[in-house]
């Protein structure tokens, strides 16, 4: 892709991200909570979720733009599934999936302002999914999706790089599911060869 085309694609994605953030921000909190509950119920009944032992979830750090994952996390821990959450390393644009052992342990990974804490020495002692057996299922965040699985992420490329690395790993790529409010479902999304598609998008109206 030429430099001009790449620049145009980035601009189109940025504009769409802004539009989606405004769209979601206009939805009443009660409606977002209702949709989150519906999506959570669908995930918990999903055959892939039931059969998966090692699952990664995104942190519920911004309830205004993402389907919440608290209910899924609670059920995972009750069912003795192995739960992993993302840890971001901005300087290298890398992401690891670190194991969480309880709800209290989960809270330690989130700062007081509900943002992900910077990497710390304690993380080195946590189990890393990539080096201990991989993942069966990844719950992947995003701002917009098509029903076919195209995804518009936050623009940092963390998940794109992680999935690419999984494809090269002996354990293979995990099954990927994204959770969406109905307002996040689009007819099309600008994308290129570096943007991976998720295997499935779960939303209230499916």
Annotated binding site for substrate: 59, 64
Q: How far apart are CA 67 and CA 33, in angstroms?
A: 8
Q: In this structure, what token pair is assigned to residue 77?
A: 């821990």
Handedness of CA 37, 60, 142, 121 (dihedral sign): negative
Q: How far apart are CA 176 and CA 201, in angstroms?
A: 9
Q: List the beta bridge partners of residue 56.
A: 84, 138
Q: How far apart are CA 198 and CA 200, in angstroms?
A: 6
Q: How far apart are CA 108 and CA 128, in angstroms?
A: 17
- In the annotated binding site for ATP, the residues are 13-17, 151-159
Q: Residue length, the chain? A: 206
- In the annotated binding site, the residues are 13-17, 59, 64, 151-159
- Three-class DSSP category at 46: coil
The answer to whether 10 and 190 are in contact (CB under 8 A) is: no
């Amino acid at each position: 892709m030429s430099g001009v085309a790449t620049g145009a694609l980035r601009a189109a994605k940025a504009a769409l991200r802004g539009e989606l953030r405004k769209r979601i921000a206009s939805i009443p909190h009660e409606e977002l909570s209702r949709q989150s509950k519906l999506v959570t119920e669908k995930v918990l009944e999903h055959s892939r979720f039931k059969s998966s032992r090692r699952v990664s979830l995104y942190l519920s750090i911004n309830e205004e733009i993402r389907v919440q994952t608290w209910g899924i996390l609670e059920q995972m821990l009750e069912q003795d599934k192995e739960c992993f959450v993302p840890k971001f390393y901005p300087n290298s644009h890398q992401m690891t999936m670190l194991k969480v052992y309880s709800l209290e342990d989960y809270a330690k990974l989130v700062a007081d302002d509900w943002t992900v804490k910077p990497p710390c020495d304690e993380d080195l002692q946590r189990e890393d999914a990539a080096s201990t057996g991989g993942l069966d299922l990844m719950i992947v965040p995003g701002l917009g999706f098509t029903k076919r699985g195209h995804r518009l992420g936050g623009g940092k490329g963390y998940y794109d790089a992680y999935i690419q690395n999984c494809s090269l790993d002996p354990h293979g790529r995990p099954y990927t599911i994204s959770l969406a409010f109905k307002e996040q479902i689009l007819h099309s999304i600008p994308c290129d060869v570096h943007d991976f598609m998720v295997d499935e998008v779960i939303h209230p109206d499916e």
